[in-house]
Amino acid sequence: MNTQQSVTTTPSRECLSGAKATIPLIIGAIPFGIIFGTLAEPSGLSALGALAMSFIVYAGASQFIALGMLSAGATIPVIIVTTFIVNLRHMLYAANMVPKVRHLSLRWRAVMAFGLTDETFAAVSNRYLNSTNTEYAHWYYLGSFLAMYSNWVLCTAIGITLGELFPNMTQWGLDFAMSVTFIGMVMPYLKTRPMWAAVIVAGLIAIATYNMPHKLGLMVAAFMGVCVGISLQLLLNRHVKKNTGVDSDE
């Protein structure tokens, strides 16, 4: 799909294809940036505060939750702790990326950490999934991050401006844009039985734990899904090894 299979890659070429590969996800994020900007002032966050939040915090889900809590009258420490919990999943992403960033300088890793979102993680994971030539893959990451980041700040600004004109925007159900984007990202992973089992378990548990506070159900569902997936995979590997005498790592 969005890969660079050629043997000769350059930083600028990787940067550009990273940005390009993120375009579908950017399209999915546009409604969110706009809706965030639109909702900010009715929730009690100033226009400048909303823009600064997108520029400095740069975390979609947390920013929406912060708005919801602000309008519900939550105190600032509670919002900050909630932000931390909601973002714990980024630690899972970071853990997944560790082997790929190990060789990079601390400055590179700091920039990449700031840019670690669901979307960039998905785009970059596909990059590593589809090609083994990863010498300049961190430039691909940078391209994806910069495209996503500038779009997020820009859409927040558009949303703030539109907020006064169309106060009913959220009732259109544009939240579906994020779901459909994620669906398109998950399907290519579903190639093995352990992977199917992992996502089915995660989906069912996510529904069952939906009412847990602070989006904690998401963590529970993800954790259980990963446990089921890896257990099945290890069982299947052992089965293959026993029957053929050959060690199968896949």
Partner 1 sequence: MTNELFLIIGMFIATFSTRFVLFAMADRIQFPSWLSQALGYVPPVVLTAIIIPAVVMPKGEVWLDWDNAWLIAAVVAALTSLISRNLLITIVTGMFIFLLVRLVQSS
Regarding 146 and contact with partner 1 (CB under 8 A), the answer is: no
- Residue 243 Cβ vs partner 1, minimum distance, rounded to whole Å: 20
- DSSP code of 132? S
* Choice from 12, 42, 49, 72 touching partner 1 (CB under 8 A): 49
What is the residue-wise DSSP string for 157-175?
A: HHHHHHHTT-TTGGGG-TT
* Choice from 19, 30, 39, 53 touching partner 1 (CB under 8 A): 53
Regarding 113 and contact with partner 1 (CB under 8 A), the answer is: yes
Regarding 185 and contact with partner 1 (CB under 8 A), the answer is: yes
Regarding 205 and contact with partner 1 (CB under 8 A), the answer is: yes
Distance CA 22, CA 2 (A): 9
Looking at residues 75 to 104 of the shown chain, list those that interact with partner 1 (rule: CB under 8 A): 76-77, 79-81, 83-84, 87-99, 101-104
Regarding 140 and contact with partner 1 (CB under 8 A), the answer is: no
Looking at residues 16 to 45 of the shown chain, list those that interact with partner 1 (rule: CB under 8 A): 23-24, 27-28, 45
* Choice from 42, 135, 167, 203 touching partner 1 (CB under 8 A): 203
Regarding 169 and contact with partner 1 (CB under 8 A), the answer is: no
Regarding 216 and contact with partner 1 (CB under 8 A), the answer is: no
Residue 176 burial (C-beta neighbours within 10 Å; 0-12, 13-18, 19+):
exposed
Question: Pick from 232, 153, 244: which is nearest to 199 by CA?
Answer: 232
**What's the number of CA atoms in the CB half-sphere (13 Å) around residue 122?**
21
What is the residue-wise DSSP string for 41-87?
A: HHHT--HHHHHHHHHHT--HHHHHHHHHHHHHT--HHHHHHHHHHHT
Regarding 212 and contact with partner 1 (CB under 8 A), the answer is: no
Residue 155 one-letter amino acid: C
Regarding 178 and contact with partner 1 (CB under 8 A), the answer is: yes
Distance CA 25, CA 184 (A): 10
- Residue 76 Cβ vs partner 1, minimum distance, rounded to whole Å: 5
